[in-house]
Amino acid sequence: MQVEIVVLQHRVASRLTTPWIELDAEHVARELAAGRPIVSFGDIPFDWREFRVLFRLLADVLARYDVLEPPDVAMLKAMGREGRPEAREVEAWYLSPFERSHSAGAASSAGAPDSLATVLSMSARPFLARTVDALHQRVNLAPWTQAFCPFCGGAPEFALLPRTGGRRLVCARCTATWPFPEQTCPYCGNALAGCSTSFVSTDRRYRLTGCDACRKYVKAFDVRNADRPFLYDVDAVASLPLDAAALQRGYLG
Ligand SMILES: [Zn+2]
Ligand SMILES: [Zn+2]
């Protein structure tokens, strides 16, 4: 399934042109220091026809592998038939802040159901990633201290443990990475030393760290023990056994 998803995303990515985004270094530094992500919705080169085709194909793949509940499949198929999602629906999803989806008790008010957010996120990834690729090398992330993505505001669903040490969080939407202290929980800011539990996969490629203060966890891809680069949609699924272990121990995804 992961392979089918990645192939569909690559097919779209290969047809995209790279957007040119003007950068005023001082302005960007100010925005980052203030905790404001720097990519606005209008910067992303969406091709809506391509986007909707990808949305339909991805929903089909997820339905075929029983990842989605039947009512969600019906809803997504209906959206496809109606020529949706519309740009404003994607914009509403894009602008839904990380804080809202992660603050206590707010999950149910986050708007889009999880399955819709999942398919939107997968469909938007090639477009977002292209935009962020064009920026990543040109932006100094030093002023950024937040746990959400400095480019698009997405949540940190994964982390990388680079060969050089430390930790980088990975955006679930655009796959940008940014440094974040290894010993701090990105969800509640708790210091993790002596207050967390780690689970490591048998091949040592993945490490999950659960925070004992808020019970949430982050999975990491350990570059030091991997023979290939990180691939978001592949590694998110390949590391699912660790999620099961963490859930059993009372941590929340
Ligand atoms: Zn992002
Ligand atoms: Zn925490």
Domain boundaries, the chain: 2-136, 156-248
Distance from Cα 25 to the centre of ligand 2, integer Å: 33
* pTM of this structure: 0.84
Specify the pLDDT at position 94.
92
Phi and psi dihedrals of 206, rounded to 5?
-120, 140
pLDDT at 183 (0 to 100): 94
Amino acid identity for residue 162 in this structure: P
**Per-residue DSSP letter, 222:** E
What is the spatial distance between Cα 195 and Cα 217, in angstroms, rounded to a whole number?
Answer: 12
**85 upstream amide cis, omega within 30 of 0:** yes
Q: Which single residue is written with the structure tokens 């980088």?
A: 168
133 CA to middle of ligand 2, Å? 30
Low-confidence ranges of the chain (pLDDT < 70): 97-113
**Which tokens go with 199?**
């689970």
Q: Are strands 196-200 and 206-211 parallel, antiparallel or unpaired?
A: antiparallel
Residue 168: alpha-carbon gap to chain centroid: 13
User: Closest-lying ligand to the alpha carbon of 251?
Assistant: 2
User: What is the CA(74)–ligand 2 centre distance, in A?
Assistant: 36
